[in-house]
Structure 1
């Protein structure tokens, strides 16, 4: 992977995600968080298209409300696909229990879309990782919900916390599961940017 901090020594993360911020900071990037609100409704059924579209919509929303900025701006969106259904953030503990029960002993897909304003251009993409859960059972799921990591997390778990213990195997970029496809972004930024 390209040296992220060399490519992006500082950026604005237009997201309230503590996990994305921590991931970027662990790479040596100075992060300024500036949450942006935008309409996340859509009629799409393809999770790859949805996540990239929403990331670009968030970037456009940021640009509309913050016309003056000089450092790169990054927006992301993450969604889970399980057996043809799109799964977002749970509304409450009961929905979180239902989501985790679906994943119990099964594989699901995590799609993370991103949009980056960098050197006067907008770059965007989406990446996919496959996550296989261990056989958990209702008691272990209920115990995990006590951590409250499910709040605000697509699919009701966070990989960078106790949620790691729910996972049997990940195929793909682990950072994509956290919500920030670092390998893909590095690949694109590491290539010549002139068109």
Structure 2
């Protein structure tokens, strides 16, 4: 594979994913839907992230990542942008077959954290990369064990604002770390972009890392 790009497009609003790519030294441009000037591009992220009945967490996270990448590839074509690989990722938190998405509000965040408290859950991050018409994907699965959290501790963490906008209502790289007893798997995957798997995909399209 000798199409050597000097950069990639990252189709994610997550500042953490952007920072993780920087950690690998990967030059990237954000490829986002900017709805205000392009009403046709007001993609419904919530519709993209809707869970189907009885859907297994691994199936779900891979399906949503593929949908996000489809939308990004279409956006890239519509805008007539220079060719380069397009990277997408999605993270979901699961306990058994229960999927924990982003909390609706503070009360929902507190409810999620109460369920995660004192137990182990899985963090699934799917990554997909498209270059031209070809697509490659990978899945990172990690386990996180939370120490028991009191109602007061949960309330204080929710009040920090950190849980909002994050799958499972916490960020491993923030204040929640005080309650993370054990992790196994990929720390960067738990943050939202598993660097080992991402590096493998990028090497496959000719990036020298």
Shorter-chain TM-score tier: 0.7 to 0.9
**93-102 vs 18-27, which moves further:** 18-27
- Structure number with bigger Rg: 2
Residues 41 and 28 from structure 1, CA distance in 2 versus in 1: closer, same or farther, beyond 3 angstroms? Answer: same
- Equivalence for 2:10: 13
Q: Does 1:30 align with 2:27?
A: yes
Unaligned runs of 5+ in 1: 1-6
Q: TM-score, normalised by structure 2?
A: 0.81
CA RMSD of aligned residues (A): 2.1
Q: 1:74 aligns with which of 78, 87, 91?
A: 87
CA contact (8 A) 2:57 2:97 kept: no
Q: Does 1:41 align with 2:53?
A: no
Determine the C-alpha separation between the residues in 2 that align with 1:42 and 1:141.
26
Query: Which secondary structure state, in structure 1, belongs to the residue aligned with residue 126 of structure 2?
Result: strand
**119-128 vs 168-177, which moves further:** 119-128
- Equivalence for 1:95: 108
**What count of residue pairs does the alignment treat as equivalent?**
187
Q: 2:168 aligns with which of 155, 167, 171?
A: 155
- Runs of 4+ deviating beyond 6 Å: none
Q: Does 1:57 align with 2:54?
A: no
- Equivalence for 1:169: 182
**Shift of residue 148, structure 1, vs aligned partner:** 0.7
Unaligned runs of 5+ in 2: 34-42
Q: How does 1:94-133 map to 2 (within 5 A)?
A: 94-118=107-131, 121-133=134-146
**80-89 vs 21-30, which moves further:** 21-30
CA contact (8 A) 2:121 2:145 kept: yes
Determine the C-alpha separation between the residues in 1 that align with 2:15 and 2:128.
18
Determine the C-alpha separation between the residues in 2 that align with 1:31 and 1:15.
11
Q: TM-score, normalised by structure 1?
A: 0.86
Determine the C-alpha separation between the residues in 2 that align with 1:75 and 1:115.
5
